[in-house]
Structure 1
Amino acid sequence: MKNFIFIFYFLFLTQNFFGQSITGKVVDEQSKPIAAVNVYFDGTTLGTLTDKNGFFTLHFGAKLNSILVISCLGYTSEYLTNFKPNEFLNIKLNMSVNVLREVVVQRDGFSRAQKMIVFKKQFLGSTKNGKSSVIENEEDIYFTYNTKTNILEAFADEPIRILNNSLGYKINYQLVKFECNLYPWKTKPNGIRSCYYAGLTRFESISNLDKIKRKRDEVYDGSRLHFFRSVAANNWKNDNFRLFRGGWEVNPIGFFTVKDTLDYKKVTVSTLKNKQPQMKVLAEFDLLRNGDQSKIIFETSTFYVDKFGNNSHSDKIYFSGPMSEQKVGDMLPMDYGIN
């Protein structure tokens, strides 16, 4: 199996927001207000906290396709998708039920420390920014490993707190899924066939130093976020993305059709000729940018991209090469660079 590592931006929504605000109140099961509740748009720096009376107001300056997350320690998180920015939101959080998990000691020859090494490498990444990022609550992460399937899974009941001083962000990552398909551990330690993870993120900027801004620009340049924004804007040439198919350079306009809709761009990809009905891969291309070559594979012929570069089918679009190496340690908020 090819080693395609990718990030799935959990859901894609189509809400019509134009520089407005969201207001509301968060209460518990007894209708008592809850203070210091996190209210944020997934994958962005756009967030706020409720006041002592449970009220919040969240401002944003552009139309946005993202989940509104309401999260507080000790309560079950809520996720809102179907609402309007001019309505007042009344949100009730239920107390989370703490289940005492049975710890099963398995003789799999795979220690927790070794599992953590695999997790951090595949989750944070092995780039300079990935290696320098720190998980502040590693104790909240636990693992299962199936010796028959060689699948390593990771779980966390509380958001994973990540400190990325290199890019000047604190990240709360609510892990939804982490699954790595490994080669047999005894014969090939750390050998990864494939790895998949998904979650909800809140970014908090902790530095505005010029050197930090330069590092962020360097990470954005040629990233997947940059790529999807370029595709949606038909800006391949100006952004220096070159498309190859079968070893030959091709004109992207002949293979990617972009149509405007009210809130996002609809992108249709030209599929492979003579493809069989059972084939999952519908199209594949090589991307060349400033000497770096990556591969992109599509298991969907249509996807949607909003102004932020958020796309609707990240679970069906795979990257390999340099564009796949950026993981959470190199992740930028979806509103990065958007005025």
Structure 2
Amino acid sequence: MSLKAFACSIVCLFSVFILKAETITGYVFDKATEQPIQGVAVYFDGTSLGTVTNSKGYFSLTTPYKLSSDLIVSYMGYETLLISNPYEAKTFKIYLRETSFGLDEVVLQADPFSREEKLEVFKKQFLGSSYKNQCTIENEDAIVVTYNMKSHKLIAFAKEPLQIKNGYLAYDVSYNLVGFSADYYRNSLSEFQLKSVYFAGTSFFKDVGNNESKYDRRRKNSYLGSSLHLIRTLIRSEDLKQGLKRADFTLYQNRLAVKKPEDYLAIKDTLGGTQLVSTKKKYDILYGRQQSFLEIESDTIYIDRNGNFSPIQGLLFGGYMGTLRFKDMLPLDYELPEKD
């Protein structure tokens, strides 16, 4: 066998391996009564891949390949469970604990802003500045929002998963809001005093677009030039310089275009996972006319082919990418439509 043929055989075998479908099965029970729970949502975080348990508490979930996202087990009135590396178990037996959440458990500090004012700012900074008539939260009463006068920070969390209808991209999303904060330079809700916005949680997307072309176009426009697009370009490019060029990204250092990005950035496989290695802490980024920047806040950043990365606060995006909010968010299993 020639060297060329041998190399081709390796590539073909590897491709078959990574595209192999994987199935996860299990049962979900009440921790106290040990009775099965029907209707429990079981899904991969940030994707549209999920299912619900039947009357016996049983679920079966098949994915086209192994995902690195956590498996989320969620049911109203119970603690949400996150399972890392779910493919390692053949069949799960999961026990959920009931949880109670009362307002007496939440210490709300006095501040000069009404709930309506704080909620409106939360929705604008969480959903996006143009969210109205495009993206709605069906259960706003579940949101607890407060303002810390000492730290100049708007804080929010939810007592139950938020049910969000994104009419712009045609997704119904269940979002478990773990935390939200908007930091201001002084005690204000003015956008001119806003320093930074952070939110985190787990999400499950349901596609309600019915394959309509207008939603395909909107999703494509939301994807191109986004942080998801950039991270995928970095990890999926065999030749980083050519990959960035094909994707229309240009990196800058000290206002000069980076001619050899491989001298600054590299993808490295380790025992802990695939790492993004960088010799610099900040990059300016140009996509078309959209200007963004990337700040690397952690020494160790793990990424996967879907564009997922951890720790979530390890990468900070600003400029155009920093303006994108939930209204523009796509599931991690989204892929650009193939060209005709």
TM interval, short-chain normalised: 0.7 to 0.9
- Residue 13 of structure 2 is matched in structure 1 by none
Cα deviation for residue 157 of structure 1 reads: 1.1
CA RMSD of aligned residues (A): 2.4
What are the within-5 Å matches in structure 2 for residues 93-242 of structure 1?
A: 93-101=96-104, 107-126=110-129, 128=130, 132-185=134-187, 188=190, 191-207=193-209, 208-232=211-235, 233=237, 234=240, 235-242=243-250
Q: Decide whether aligned partners of structure 1 residues 255 and 24 sit closer, same or farther in structure 2, where only a CA change above 3 A counts.
A: same
Unpaired segments ≥5 residues, structure 1: 1-15, 272-282
- Match 1:58 to one of 58, 61, 69: 61
Asked whether the 8 Å contact 2:101–2:159 carries over to 1, the reply is no
Q: Deviations over 1:241-281 (max 9, x none)?
A: 1011001111211111123468964321013xxxxxxxxxx
Asked whether the 8 Å contact 2:118–2:146 carries over to 1, the reply is no
- 3-state SS in 2 of match to 1:222: coil
Q: Decide whether aligned partners of structure 1 residues 337 and 104 sit closer, same or farther in structure 2, where only a CA change above 3 A counts.
A: closer
Kindly indicate which of the two structures has a greater share of residues assigned to helix. 2
Cα deviation for residue 86 of structure 1 reads: 5.6
Tell me the matched-pair count.
312
Asked whether the 8 Å contact 1:109–1:186 carries over to 2, the reply is no
Q: 1:236, 1:294 → 2: CA distance?
A: 15
Q: 1:224, 1:241 → 2: CA distance?
A: 11
Q: Decide whether aligned partners of structure 1 residues 264 and 107 sit closer, same or farther in structure 2, where only a CA change above 3 A counts.
A: closer
Q: Decide whether aligned partners of structure 1 residues 219 and 188 sit closer, same or farther in structure 2, where only a CA change above 3 A counts.
A: closer
Q: 2:295, 2:261 → 1: CA distance?
A: 15
Q: 1:65, 1:261 → 2: CA distance?
A: 15
Q: Decide whether aligned partners of structure 1 residues 102 and 88 sit closer, same or farther in structure 2, where only a CA change above 3 A counts.
A: closer
- 3-state SS in 1 of match to 2:179: strand
TM-score, normalising length: structure 1: 0.85
Unpaired segments ≥5 residues, structure 2: 1-17
Q: 2:234, 2:292 → 1: CA distance?
A: 15
Asked whether the 8 Å contact 1:124–1:130 carries over to 2, the reply is no
Q: Deviations over 1:9-60 (max 9, x none)?
A: xxxxxxx994210001111122211111000011000100001111110010
Q: Decide whether aligned partners of structure 1 residues 230 and 201 sit closer, same or farther in structure 2, where only a CA change above 3 A counts.
A: same
- Residue 280 of structure 1 is matched in structure 2 by none
- 3-state SS in 2 of match to 1:84: helix
Q: Decide whether aligned partners of structure 1 residues 152 and 73 sit closer, same or farther in structure 2, where only a CA change above 3 A counts.
A: same
Q: Deviations over 1:77-128 (max 9, x none)?
A: 21111443561101111121243426878652211111012101111111x4
Mapped pair 1:247 → 2:255: yes
Select the structure with the greater relative contact order (CA < 8 A; seq sep ≥ 6): 1
Q: 1:51, 1:219 → 2: CA distance?
A: 36
AA partner of residue 155 (structure 1): F
Q: Deviations over 1:58-81 (max 9, x none)?
A: 010022111111111111121111
Cα deviation for residue 312 of structure 1 reads: 2.1
- 3-state SS in 2 of match to 1:293: strand
